[in-house]
Amino acid sequence: MTVYNKVVQFLKEVYSELKKVSWLSRKEVIATTVVVVIFVLITAGFVGVVDFILSRILGIFLGGR
Mean pLDDT, residues 24-31 = 97
Instruction: Report, as an integer, the average pLDDT of 11-26.
Output: 94
Per-residue confidence (pLDDT) for residue 63, from 0 to 100: 82
User: What are the pLDDT digits (tens) for 36-55?
Assistant: 999 999 999 999 999 999 99
CB 59 within 8 A of CB 65: yes
Give the Cα separation of 10 and 21 in Å (integer).
Answer: 17
Residue 22: phi and psi, rounded to 5, are -95, 100
Helix (H, G, I), strand (E, B) or coil at 22: coil
Total count of residues recorded for the chain: 65
* pLDDT number for residue 64: 65
